[in-house]
Amino acid sequence: MDYILRTVNVSKRYRADWVLKNVNMNIQRGDIYGFVGENGSGKTTIIRLITGLISANEGHIELFGIPSDSPEITAVRKKIGAIVESPSIYRNMSARDNLLMQSTILGINDEEKIKQVLCDVELGELYQNPKKAGNFSLGMRQRLGIAMALLGSPEFIILDEPMNGLDPAGIVGIRELILKLNREQGITFLISSHILNELALVANKYGIISHGSLIKEITDEELRNQCRPTTVIEATEHQALWDLLSKDFPAEDLLHLARGVRITGAVELNALLARIIEAEISILSVNCYKTSIEDYYLSLLGGGRHA
């Protein structure tokens, strides 16, 4: 597999407190990886390790197949663009001047590249506009931050809580931008957030972290399977009910219970109940459940509930 990032048993300690404990993350090329956890769970610490701002006490990180203790790691990190906590924007400078400053740091000094990245984030109208970044909306500043991350033509972009504080229109705009850059330029993303519902609109894979431990990695398909609706039907003739439903539903969607059957997945309930009654099977109870993405997340953290 073509991994952009792997963390191998990574642990980090500040004095006597372990803030990360044996974290194993796996991000493949082309992923939009949603990194989910409550505030203080360790998301930003992992991002700082990946970007080289701090180092691990135990374990190691591999970027593009290169381990973090290799002399090549500095060159490999040039393939990364990152916004950690908030974009490093000079508020008294225009969008173009901010990008000029960043391009000088990167040794690029390419005016066409500056114009291109502004267009990539749909801020092309600011190329010649002297308006200071301090007067931009928060959404515009987030886009400018992403433009700065794009200057080095990265293959991997890390965004730390990019939707924080944005209004609904700003959130939609950033979400659409991420999808566009992933689809059109093949950029791999790591996006941290404490809002799983928002990440579920962009991510194809998730890492769920809590109190410094990565408790699960799950694909979007697996997550949605966990959140499929469930119908439990109890009947006096539960074996007859099982035999009837086995003809209409895949075996993996059925579970034989002590007094009935659990069906996982969408059902046409009225039509199904009519069939059961027609078969002269006496229904004792019908219960329908829907596990939301938030419910599933809370269940992993030990605070699950059913809505």
Q: Which residue has the higher pLDDT, 27 or 297?
A: 27
Residue 81 lies in a domain: yes
Residue 305 lies in a domain: no
236 and 139, same structural domain? Answer: no
Q: Which residue has the higher pLDDT, 213 or 109?
A: 213
Over residues 164-188, the mean pLDDT reads 89
pLDDT digits (tens, 9 = 90+) for 1-12: 799 999 999 999
Residue 59 lies in a domain: yes
78 and 32, same structural domain? Answer: yes
Reported as a pLDDT band with limits 50, 70 and 90, residue 38 is: confident
Q: Against a cut of 0.75, is the pTM above it?
A: yes
pLDDT digits (tens, 9 = 90+) for 46-98: 999 999 999 999 999 999 999 988 999 999 998 999 888 777 888 899 999 99
pLDDT digits (tens, 9 = 90+) for 177-231: 999 999 999 999 999 988 788 888 999 999 999 999 999 999 998 888 888 888 9
pLDDT exceeds 50 at position 164: yes
257 and 281, same structural domain? Answer: yes
257 and 188, same structural domain? Answer: no
pLDDT digits (tens, 9 = 90+) for 60-70: 999 999 998 89
Give me the CATH number covering residue 86. Answer: 3.40.50.300
Amino acid at 146: I
Would you state the pLDDT for residue 28?
Answer: 96
Would you state the pLDDT for residue 49?
Answer: 93
271 and 125, same structural domain? Answer: no
pLDDT exceeds 80 at position 262: yes
189 and 255, same structural domain? Answer: no
Domain count, the chain: 2
Least confident range from 62-66, 103-107, 262-266: namely: 103-107
Active site residue 161: yes
197 and 61, same structural domain? Answer: yes
pLDDT exceeds 80 at position 304: no
119 and 31, same structural domain? Answer: yes
Residue 191 lies in a domain: yes
Residue 302 lies in a domain: no
Give me the CATH number covering residue 255. Answer: 3.30.70
Would you state the pLDDT for residue 106?
Answer: 83
42 and 119, same structural domain? Answer: yes
What residue numbers bound the domain in which 178 lies?
A: 3-218
Q: Which of 38, 112, 155, 161 is catalytic?
A: 161
99 and 35, same structural domain? Answer: yes
Reported as a pLDDT band with limits 50, 70 and 90, residue 162 is: confident
Would you state the pLDDT for residue 83?
Answer: 85
